Amino acid sequence: MIAQLVADLPKARVFLVGIDRAGTGVDLDRDLLSPTAGDEPADEVLVIARTPADLRRAATLHKLLPEARRVVVAVLDTPASHPAPVPTPTPAHRWRSLSELRVHRPKDRVWVVDARFSKHTPAGRTVTATARAFAGHRLDVIAAPAAALAGIGAADWRPGDPNATPAEVGGPVPERVGAPGSDVVLRTGSEDHPWEGGERPVERPTAKAASWERLGRPGGADVPLPDPEVLARPSMIPPVDERLVNPQGFVTTPSRGTAVLTERDGRWAAVLDGKVVVAFAESGGVTDADVGRLRQLRGVEVDWQHAHSGPLAAVRVLAGLAAAGVPLVARSVPPWARALGEPLVELIESAPELSDELRREEHSIRLRRAALRTHGVAARWEQLGAPPAAPPLTSVLLTTRRADMVGFALDQIARQRDVQLEVILALHGVSARHPSVAEALRRFGRYVHVYEAPVEKIFGEVLNEAAARASGAFLLKMDDDDWYGPDFLADLLLAHSYSGAQVVGTVPEFVYLAAIDVTVHRRQITEQITSFVAGGTILVERSAFQALGGFRPLRRSVDTQFQEAMQAAGGQIYRTHGLGYILRRGPAANHTWQEPIGTFLQRNRRQWRGFRPSTLMELEGSAQL
């Protein structure tokens, strides 16, 4: 495919990213020891990336590309879950000269964006717009100081950041718009290049510098590194690009067995029944296409005993797979892999039972939590000294007609950990002076904004008035009789960070049928963009909620109508895992969602007598599954 693309544009200046040397063009991953912006315009520019994740590194380096009248961006291996990469031109002057835009798929998994302009235009803008389209048109923002990047592989540290400033490996950082070009300089491969700028760069090794050959330890399953600082902590390895390498597409019922992560041709590869499923990049960077090919595997077992491309690359592979929720297992993790961080090391060594689908998914959820919070881009730059972002405030909207359920509902809110929240309690026809309510508020022990709504007020209006009293950046609608695990809200916020959806929630995967004392585990597809989440799990960006005007003034179907309106307005809904939530179902007349109990006995994976929560619910005294 590369040869065909080059042949179709014989006069184009060619740039490659994520592709093993193809003998033509500039390799943005390897040829940038001394990058300079393309001063001379070109008639045509061709940028070829292996995957959407690789294209995001090209977007980081977009200032190095010349101006051109025609820009062609080709991505060779695109997972089916990605939308068509249709760029969204803005009124900015760089797009006003656009005369033609074509987006097409010449063959399976290959996407090509072909943009023509009436005058020479920065080619990098087309690259960044295409990369942004693959990520759902989210703002490409990393909450950290403006960064300068110098040296081979430095773009790995700021994937998809078009605000980064490329610099020569010896410096200095070029100025921009009358100000310093960066607040922090990160440099790789600097052994033979003294720094000439006034800044003091953050120095990090390249994968080649941290290879077994350079460290003098071929293989090295149980040997210490000559320099313990090379891989002593997570901040020594490039982060995971969680915008594209994340749990989306997780398969709860895999069709294939457990692969082995072992060496093939000097790289780590996932091998099943003697055949390579995925061979990872020499750098160890995991892409969205790699993860897609692993989704049907039950898990991946790590083979520490064979040589591979080096410890830095090995740790990067494991961090990326864990962030994607690929179930990983291994015997004792060697000392050189401790940069994974202790939480990940303990989980990988925990020997979960992957043959049990529920145990397997619980293990995946724990892995992804630890990896995304330790190895995500924002987390990595905090480890490098960037000021931590203030945690967002979530306003919990709790509406109830039942005084006797207030205490239970507040107990579920009190269980939430590692989040900042406030509570708006809307008492619908109930007085705050009711003994059960007063006792529940006293026991909760934190401030609760109480709103008393008259009994004749419509449910949708009550919710909107509760939301009007909220001050959080997110609104979370919770029900008064369902169970919520201690990481329920934290998991929703994590899913929001990697999905970019305006609404995040889950579905009633676990349902307790109180009338017959049965717990059912229903077949559901999670970790995907969807059209529906359970009303008692809706987490919505406050700005999106306000843009819609809130809930419709209805007595029933409030949640469904809200989600319909969100999609009609162009918003997205994301469904994360359902193991931190249990829907309680009593007689249909007691619920606004009046499905008969028989509905919940269909399409079940398993069912048990009694109340049987997942271990992730952490409900003491319950017979956990």
DSSP conformation class of 600:
G
Each residue's pLDDT tens digit, 282-292: 899 999 999 99
Size of the chain, expressed as the number of residues it contains: 625
Give yes or no: residues 222 and 332 share one domain. Answer: yes
* DSSP assignments along 235-247, one per residue: GGSPPB-TTTSSS
Whether residue 203 lies inside any domain: the answer is no
**DSSP-based three-state secondary structure for 607:** strand
Q: What is the pTM of this model?
A: 0.93
Residue labelled with tokens 């990213």: 17
Give yes or no: residues 266 and 321 share one domain. Answer: yes
Neighbours of 292 (CB within 10 A): 21
Question: Which range has the top average pLDDT, 85-94, 168-177, 339-348?
Answer: 339-348
Contact criterion met (CB below 8 Å) for 326 and 297 = yes
Give yes or no: residues 26 and 80 share one domain. Answer: yes
Q: What band does 348 get if pLDDT is binned at 50, 70 and 90?
A: very high
151 sits in the region (left: phi over 0; alpha: psi -120 to 50; else beta) called left
Please state whether beta strands 449-453 and 328-329 pair in parallel, antiparallel, or not at all (unpaired). Answer: unpaired
- Mean of pLDDT values over 517-541: 95
Please state the separation of Cα 173 from the chain's center in Å.
31
Cis status, amide bond into 335, omega within 30 of 0:
no
Q: Using the Cα atoms of residue 279, residue 281, residue 284 and residue 287 in order, give the sign of their dihedral.
A: negative
Q: What band does 417 get if pLDDT is binned at 50, 70 and 90?
A: very high
Domain count, the chain: 3
According to the model, what pLDDT value does residue 447 have?
A: 96
According to the model, what pLDDT value does residue 39 have?
A: 65
- Please check the confidence at residue 330 and state whether its pLDDT lies above 90: yes
- Mean of pLDDT values over 394-417: 97
- Please check the confidence at residue 73 and state whether its pLDDT lies above 90: yes
Q: What is the dihedral of CA 44, 48, 52, 55, to 10 degrees?
A: -70
According to the model, what pLDDT value does residue 62 have?
A: 93
Whether residue 604 lies inside any domain: the answer is yes
Give yes or no: residues 223 and 322 share one domain. Answer: yes
Q: What band does 214 get if pLDDT is binned at 50, 70 and 90?
A: low
Give yes or no: residues 293 and 359 share one domain. Answer: yes
Give yes or no: residues 416 and 362 share one domain. Answer: no
According to the model, what pLDDT value does residue 213 have?
A: 64
Whether residue 351 lies inside any domain: the answer is yes
According to the model, what pLDDT value does residue 141 have?
A: 65
According to the model, what pLDDT value does residue 353 have?
A: 93
Burial 458-472 (b: 16+ CB within 10 A, else e): bbbbbbbbbbeebeb
- Mean of pLDDT values over 570-578: 96
pLDDT: which is higher, 603 or 403: 403
Q: Using the Cα atoms of residue 477, residue 482, residue 485 and residue 486 in order, give the sign of their dihedral.
A: positive
According to the model, what pLDDT value does residue 262 have?
A: 92
According to the model, what pLDDT value does residue 319 have?
A: 97
Cβ-based neighbours of 277, under 8 Å, separated by 6 or more: 259, 269, 270, 271, 293, 294, 297
**What average pLDDT does the chain have?**
90
Whether residue 569 lies inside any domain: the answer is yes
Give yes or no: residues 339 and 451 share one domain. Answer: no
Boundary residue ending a domain (327, 348, 383): 383
Q: Which domain holds residue 315?
A: 215-383
Each residue's pLDDT tens digit, 133-182: 998 888 766 666 899 999 989 999 999 999 999 998 888 998 888 888 89
Angle at 516 between CA 512 and CA 520, to 5 degrees: 35
- Please check the confidence at residue 548 and state whether its pLDDT lies above 80: yes
Give yes or no: residues 502 and 613 share one domain. Answer: yes
Whether residue 202 lies inside any domain: the answer is no
* Gap between the terminal Cα atoms of the chain: 50
pLDDT: which is higher, 403 or 592: 403
Lowest average pLDDT, out of 193-202, 300-309, 374-383, goes to 300-309
Give yes or no: residues 103 and 247 share one domain. Answer: no
- Mean of pLDDT values over 191-196: 82
According to the model, what pLDDT value does residue 589 have?
A: 45
According to the model, what pLDDT value does residue 435 have?
A: 97
- Mean of pLDDT values over 355-368: 97
Cα–Cα dist 372/376, whole Å: 5
Whether residue 325 lies inside any domain: the answer is yes
Residue type, 334: P
Residue type, 273: D
Boundary residue ending a domain (173, 192, 223): 173
Boundary residue ending a domain (123, 143, 173): 173
- Please check the confidence at residue 338 and state whether its pLDDT lies above 60: yes
According to the model, what pLDDT value does residue 590 have?
A: 52
Whether residue 337 lies inside any domain: the answer is yes
Give yes or no: residues 338 and 408 share one domain. Answer: no
Q: What band does 226 get if pLDDT is binned at 50, 70 and 90?
A: very low
Question: Which range has the top average pLDDT, 33-37, 38-42, 287-291?
Answer: 287-291
Give yes or no: residues 375 and 400 share one domain. Answer: no
Whether residue 260 lies inside any domain: the answer is yes
Taking every pair of Cα atoms in the chain, the longest distance, rounded to a whole number of angstroms, is 81
Cα–Cα dist 494/140, whole Å: 17
According to the model, what pLDDT value does residue 229 have?
A: 57
Cα–Cα dist 300/419, whole Å: 32
Give yes or no: residues 602 and 503 share one domain. Answer: yes
